Chains A and B, each alone.
Chain A
Amino acid sequence: MSDLCASVRGQLFAFARADLPLLEAARVEAHIRRCATCAAVVNNLASVLPHAQRDLQPSPAKLDELSRAILVTRPPSNSRPFLLAGMAAVAVGVAVVVVVVVVAVARPVPAPVPVPIATRVEPLPVERPIEVPLEMKRTTHSKNVEMLTSPGFVADVVIADARIGVTQSAGFAVFAFRGGEERLEIVTPAATVRAVGTLFYVDVSAAATLVGVGEGRVSVASRDGTDRMVAKGELLRIESSGRKMSSSSSSSPAEPWLQDPGLRAFHDRVSPPAVPRIEPSSARELAQRLAEAARLSGAGKARAAQAFLTSTSKDPHFASHADILGYEIARLDAFALDDQPAARAALTKLSSSPVESVRVQAVLTTCELDLSQHPCAARACLQSAEARGGSLAAEATRLTKRWRLQHLACP
């Protein structure tokens, strides 16, 4: 937690909903421009809120399934249909009541308890044997992950930034993971499985997720937040509700797939070095330096971040990025070190930078500084930016709306 973040405490959700008063919204906007964590929270909320607000009607098949389940388990109906029909049924009813009473005395009827849908529709034994198919498909998703998947395997695989995310909704898969600089994470309805450099399988059914480990170990976090490390030879079962885990050390029917020669050969190959290799590109190194500065600043060490950026800007290797570094230093001056004169001087110089992104941001940051003094000053600043045209004008228009300045009454 950063002290800086305290200034927007409790406001990120309302900001992402665009439901904050003008000045508070401006304060949050200013904060998230320099706080990576809060910016990520707002970005994630902004992308997920429309998704969470979508129409959530069940499909006809789903409704049928639920309806059947209810009608099977519902209590005896005590509804009153039509009077005549009811009277006609009295005689039969009396007879039925006698029989019911006799049965009830012999064996008490428990109160109706909802049964999980999957259990009711397709009864499964508690220890369902893993149905290992005869034919498996072999896929390689990166140089560090090879998979054998069953015909019923359903998953989305996302590979980005040294992270392989598998959202597995059904079926059986064996994973050979060689570690290295990549991370492998399998998300099932019941749990999240994180590989630590290993050979293991994940089997997802309606009732449970099963995780078995052939080599190394995996970390499993059930949906209710229980963490568990699964070691070699262990089999873990997580109920689909995510609330119950049980493990056994007995060998499972999936064991032969853990001995698959192809996966073994893939797994046993020499793993790549764990330390990521830095690309020779100075742009990539610059991104790393900026990230480090953001981390320092986020940890309340703005002076250290500024010193770090200043030393980087003096490195000839980064000579072509001097304006970008100068802009980041100016932002630290403006919002973390409260040295507005220095910030304004630097931003004025950078507003004529040959680098377009720096030029645009320098002008907008100047307007942001004006906003902290008076909204009308910010509006005048943004209006003059709009007059300059190009991408700067578009950004200035966007900020005018974002800061809700368009209807502001100014002298």
Chain B
Amino acid sequence: MGLIKAFGSTDAEVVREHGPRVYALLRRLFGPSDVVDDVFQNVFIEVLRSRPLFAGRSSPRTWIHRIALNVAYQEMRQQYRRHDSRLPPDVLLPENHDAHHEAALRQRERWLYAALAHLPPKQRTAVVLHDLDGRSLRTIADDLGLPLQTVASQVRLGRARLSDLLAGLRDPASARVADQQPDEEEA
């Protein structure tokens, strides 16, 4: 009874109760992209499918949050593999006028997320959750099931790579060769 109540009594209630938080998380991870809608659907299809298997060892909110991170991680892996060696044109440095105009901010947001998409998925997740979502390293480590030091290292490496990508200092193709080894090891 308790679990059913915690999850809402119908599928629609589950989506209504937990959807806003999951959507905000995915929007943060993927930026202004319609991939967010697709991943959101995948998350809740998985949540509703696995709902009878929920063992109650954590809160439904934490359980759904972890499913969302797992599904998002799979999408990020696919994106990372799919990207060719060139940065997309959007990643070119935006011109420095109208810094507070809404359209200019959106352009800068695309610029930032285009570069984020060239980070290895674990670094991308760690940087977004820590630097954009404001989560502590400890919380991220718990959510991802990784040691604290590993998460700190992912944030540091991700920030450095992101800086170089945004400054046009790093060719993503060469970055990828260097990244493959640690990423595979961690996987």
Instruction: Indicate whether B88 reaches chain A with its CB closer than 8 angstroms.
Output: yes
- Inter-chain contacts of B23 with A (CB < 8 A): 56-58, 62-63, 66
Instruction: Indicate whether B167 reaches chain A with its CB closer than 8 angstroms.
Output: yes
Interface residues of B in 135-150 (CB under 8 A from A): none
- Inter-chain contacts of A69 with B (CB < 8 A): 37, 41
- Inter-chain contacts of A227 with B (CB < 8 A): 89
- Inter-chain contacts of B101 with A (CB < 8 A): 156, 158
Instruction: Indicate whether B2 reaches chain A with its CB closer than 8 angstroms.
Output: no
In the complex, A189 Cα to B82 Cα: how many Å? 19
Partner of B15, one of A6, A71, A77: A71
Instruction: Indicate whether A132 reaches chain B with its CB closer than 8 angstroms.
Output: no
Instruction: Indicate whether B176 reaches chain A with its CB closer than 8 angstroms.
Output: no
In the complex, A173 Cα to B160 Cα: how many Å? 41
In the complex, A45 Cα to B19 Cα: how many Å? 29
Of chain B, the residue at the smallest CB distance from A81 is B4
Query: A69-84, CB under 8 A of B: which get 1 and which 0?
Result: 1110111011111000
A15 to chain B, nearest CB (A): 8
Instruction: Indicate whether A224 reaches chain B with its CB closer than 8 angstroms.
Output: yes
A166 to chain B, nearest CB (A): 9
Identify whether the interface residues of A are mostly helix, strand, loop, or mixed.
Answer: mixed
The tally of residues in A whose CB lies under 8 Å from a CB in B reads 63
Instruction: Indicate whether A12 reaches chain B with its CB closer than 8 angstroms.
Output: yes
A79-B51, A187-B107 in contact; A1/B34 too (CB < 8 A)? no
Instruction: Indicate whether A225 reaches chain B with its CB closer than 8 angstroms.
Output: yes
Instruction: Indicate whether A307 reaches chain B with its CB closer than 8 angstroms.
Output: no
In the complex, A156 Cα to B104 Cα: how many Å? 10
Do the beta carbons of B88 and A52 come within 8 Å of each other? no
Interface residues of B in 112-164 (CB under 8 A from A): 112, 131-134, 159-164
A67-B12, A70-B44 in contact; A10/B103 too (CB < 8 A)? no
A-B contact count (CB 8 A): 186
Do the beta carbons of B88 and A57 come within 8 Å of each other? no
Instruction: Indicate whether B86 reaches chain A with its CB closer than 8 angstroms.
Output: yes
In the complex, A221 Cα to B91 Cα: how many Å? 12
Query: B36-73, CB under 8 A of A: which get 1 and which 0?
Result: 01101110110011011000000000000000000000
In the complex, A52 Cα to B113 Cα: how many Å? 10
Do the beta carbons of B97 and A38 come within 8 Å of each other? no
B39 to chain A, nearest CB (A): 9
Instruction: Indicate whether A394 reaches chain B with its CB closer than 8 angstroms.
Output: no
Do the beta carbons of A17 and B131 come within 8 Å of each other? yes
B161 to chain A, nearest CB (A): 7
Of chain B, the residue at the smallest CB distance from A159 is B98
In the complex, A382 Cα to B58 Cα: how many Å? 54
- The interface centre, meaning the residue of B82, B105, B169 with most chain A CB atoms within 10 A of its CB, is B169
A74-B11, A160-B97, A223-B88 in contact; A63/B109 too (CB < 8 A)? no
Do the beta carbons of A70 and B166 come within 8 Å of each other? no
- The interface centre, meaning the residue of B40, B82, B87, B168 with most chain A CB atoms within 10 A of its CB, is B40
A45-B112, A74-B48 in contact; A14/B159 too (CB < 8 A)? yes
B76 to chain A, nearest CB (A): 14
Stretch in contact with the other chain, from A88-96, A112-120, A317-325 = A112-120
Do the beta carbons of B20 and A40 come within 8 Å of each other? no
Instruction: Indicate whether B102 reaches chain A with its CB closer than 8 angstroms.
Output: yes
- Inter-chain contacts of B112 with A (CB < 8 A): 45, 48, 52
In the complex, A41 Cα to B51 Cα: how many Å? 45
Of chain A, the residue at the smallest CB distance from B86 is A225
Do the beta carbons of B132 and A75 come within 8 Å of each other? no
A13-B163, A44-B96 in contact; A53/B132 too (CB < 8 A)? yes
Do the beta carbons of A57 and B15 come within 8 Å of each other? no
Do the beta carbons of B102 and A156 come within 8 Å of each other? yes
Do the beta carbons of A43 and B167 come within 8 Å of each other? no
Do the beta carbons of A47 and B100 come within 8 Å of each other? yes
Query: A103-145, CB under 8 A of B: which get 1 and which 0?
Result: 0000000001010110000000000000000000000000000
Partner of B160, one of A11, A75, A156: A11
Do the beta carbons of A52 and B109 come within 8 Å of each other? yes
14 pairs, CB–CB < 8 Å, chain A vs chain B: A9-B163, A12-B167, A45-B112, A45-B166, A47-B104, A47-B105, A52-B112, A58-B20, A66-B41, A70-B15, A71-B15, A192-B89, A223-B88, A225-B84
> Which residues does A use to contact B, with CB under 8 Å?
1, 5-6, 9-14, 17, 37-38, 40-41, 43-45, 47-49, 51-53, 55-58, 62-63, 66-67, 69-71, 73-75, 77-81, 112, 114, 116-117, 156, 158, 160-161, 163, 165, 167, 187, 189, 192, 221, 223-225, 227, 240-241
Q: A14-B159, A52-B28, A161-B97 are known; give 19 further A-B pairs, CB within 8 A.
A: A1-B168, A10-B160, A13-B159, A44-B108, A51-B108, A70-B15, A70-B40, A70-B48, A74-B11, A75-B48, A79-B48, A80-B52, A114-B38, A156-B102, A187-B107, A189-B34, A192-B89, A225-B86, A227-B89
